[in-house]
Structure 1
Amino acid sequence: MILHTFTLTLGSTRPIHGSAHELRGFFATKFNEYAELHQHNADKFIYRYPVVQYKMSGNVPTVIGINEGAEVLKQIFDEYQEIRLGENTYQIVERGISLKDEEFGISDKIHSYEFATPWLALNQENYRKFYTLKGKPERDEFMRKILTGNILSMAKSLNYDVPGQIKCDAQVHFRKDRLKDVSVMVFTGKFQANFLIPDLLGIGKSVSRGFGAVRQLKGEYGGDSACSSSLTHGDRT
């Protein structure tokens, strides 16, 4: 399957400080008529994989549109001269644009990825279940299923029917983070899968706010094994 992507990066006269959540808030408020930018329709949340995703890559605001999301970004990417993130306003003096047709879906090769931003893998129910599991093997298997489910959910929302079994490995550790002033558990590290995912697309929860962005690691091979994972604790408080 081919995904059409539009990647927008923004530059100012000074370093930009802010979060992906604040970047999303700017676009959602400025262009509220486009549901793709904020996933709400008449105050009701749209439960689907976000086709517009926001990242802060270093101090560079980055917005990625996928398919219909790419078409929206084409229309509005230059319709503003400044952005407001939190209490700070930045004049926009540079816009970087990248239009691509990218492969997505099951592959006959294993591809290696790293989480460029923390992976928010667990909802409240799975969070509680994770802590009831005894020992590393059970938790590893549980996280493998979560990873596979996240990939399948992303594929379904993008109207891609997965024609075969997803194989994967993962080497991740978990730590605490904050999402809208709430403490959450996130995962960082690497994974391998027989599945092609374009760079910086997110998997898991809250990907529109920058979580779970992946980046392919060129030249690394994950092996043709059954799905498994290696899990470590990154925050031992």
Structure 2
Amino acid sequence: MILHTFTLTLGSTRPIHGSAHQLRGFFATKFNEYTELHQHNADKFIYRYPVVQYKMIGNVPTVIGINEGAEVLKQIFDEYQEIRLGENTYQIVERGISVRDEEFGISDKIRSYEFVTPWLALNQDNYRKFYTLKNDAERDEFVWKILIGNLISMAKSLGYDVPAQIKCDAQVRFRKDRLKDVSVMTFSGTFQANFLIPDYLGLGKSVSRGFGAVRQITGNTEGGRICSSSSTRGAPT
């Protein structure tokens, strides 16, 4: 499957300090008429994989549009001269633009990825389950199944029916984090999958706010545990 992507990076006259959540808030407020930018229709939340995602990559504000989200960004990317993040306002003097058609889906090779922003993998129920697991092997298996579920959920939302088994493995470590003043558990590290994911797309929860952004690591690896896409129905997410 081919995904059409539009990636926008912003530069100012001084270093930009802020969060992906604040960046999302700026675009959602200024261009409220576009539901793709904020996933709300009137007062109802749209439950789907976000087609516009906001990241802070190395303190560089980055906005990625996918398919219809890319078309929206093409219309509005230069319709402002400054952005406000929290209490700070930044003059925009540079816009980097990348428009691509990128492969997405099952690959004939195992690809290696790293999480460049924390992966928010667990909902509240699975957060509690994770802590009840007895050893590292059980926790690794639990997290691996969630990763498989995330890949399948993303694919389904983007209209891609996974046609074959997914091979997947992960080497991640967890830490406590904060989201909207709530304590959450996030993961960092690497994973391998026979799945092509365009750089900086997010996996897991709150990807529109910058969580779970992945980047492919140069070179491929062999191996990986096997899980059928059909057998992951109901996997933890």
Q: TM-score band (shorter)?
A: over 0.9
Question: CA contact under 8 A between 2:165 and 2:226: conserved in structure 1?
Answer: no
Question: CA contact under 8 A between 2:6 and 2:99: conserved in structure 1?
Answer: yes
What's the secondary structure of 1:139's corresponding residue? helix
> What is the match of residue 157 of structure 2?
157
Whole-Å Cα distance in 2 between the matches of residues 137 and 92 of structure 1?
A: 48
**Mapping 1:110-121, distance limit 5 Å:** 110-121=110-121
Offset at residue 222 of structure 1 (A)? 4.2
Question: CA contact under 8 A between 1:103 and 1:197: conserved in structure 2?
Answer: yes
Question: CA contact under 8 A between 2:110 and 2:194: conserved in structure 1?
Answer: yes
Question: CA contact under 8 A between 2:9 and 2:95: conserved in structure 1?
Answer: yes
Post-superposition Cα deviations, 1:2-54, rounded to whole Å, max 9, x if no partner, equal 00000000011111100000000000000000010000001110000000000
TM-score in terms of structure 2 length: 0.94
Whole-Å Cα distance in 2 between the matches of residues 20 and 222 of structure 1?
A: 34
Post-superposition Cα deviations, 1:69-90, rounded to whole Å, max 9, x if no partner, equal 0000000000001000000000
Letter in 1 for 2:57: S
Whole-Å Cα distance in 2 between the matches of residues 30 and 43 of structure 1?
A: 17
Letter in 2 for 1:134: K
Question: CA contact under 8 A between 1:193 and 1:222: conserved in structure 2?
Answer: no
TM-score in terms of structure 1 length: 0.94
Question: CA contact under 8 A between 1:3 and 1:103: conserved in structure 2?
Answer: yes
Post-superposition Cα deviations, 1:97-153, rounded to whole Å, max 9, x if no partner, equal 000000000011100000010000000111111112111121111111100000000
Letter in 2 for 1:133: L
> What is the match of residue 77 of structure 1?
77
Question: CA contact under 8 A between 1:169 and 1:222: conserved in structure 2?
Answer: no
Whole-Å Cα distance in 2 between the matches of residues 183 and 128 of structure 1?
A: 13
Whole-Å Cα distance in 2 between the matches of residues 108 and 93 of structure 1?
A: 42
> What is the match of residue 48 of structure 2?
48
> What is the match of residue 140 of structure 1?
140
Letter in 2 for 1:201: L
What's the secondary structure of 1:155's corresponding residue? helix
> What is the match of residue 234 of structure 2?
none
Post-superposition Cα deviations, 1:188-228, rounded to whole Å, max 9, x if no partner, equal 0000000000000000000000000000001141425436x
> What is the match of residue 65 of structure 2?
65
> What is the match of residue 24 of structure 1?
24
Whole-Å Cα distance in 1 between the matches of residues 195 and 55 of structure 2?
A: 22
Question: CA contact under 8 A between 1:207 and 1:213: conserved in structure 2?
Answer: yes
**Mapping 1:174-213, distance limit 5 Å:** 174-213=174-213
Whole-Å Cα distance in 2 between the matches of residues 8 and 43 of structure 1?
A: 28
Letter in 2 for 1:29: T
Question: CA contact under 8 A between 2:169 and 2:224: conserved in structure 1?
Answer: no
> What is the match of residue 107 of structure 2?
107
Of 97-106 and 124-133, more deviation after overlay is shown by: 124-133
Whole-Å Cα distance in 2 between the matches of residues 86 and 199 of structure 1?
A: 27
Whole-Å Cα distance in 2 between the matches of residues 159 and 222 of structure 1?
A: 28
> What is the match of residue 13 of structure 2?
13
Letter in 2 for 1:60: V
What's the secondary structure of 1:120's corresponding residue? coil
Whole-Å Cα distance in 1 between the matches of residues 127 and 120 of structure 2?
A: 11
> What is the match of residue 235 of structure 1?
none
What's the secondary structure of 2:126's corresponding residue? helix
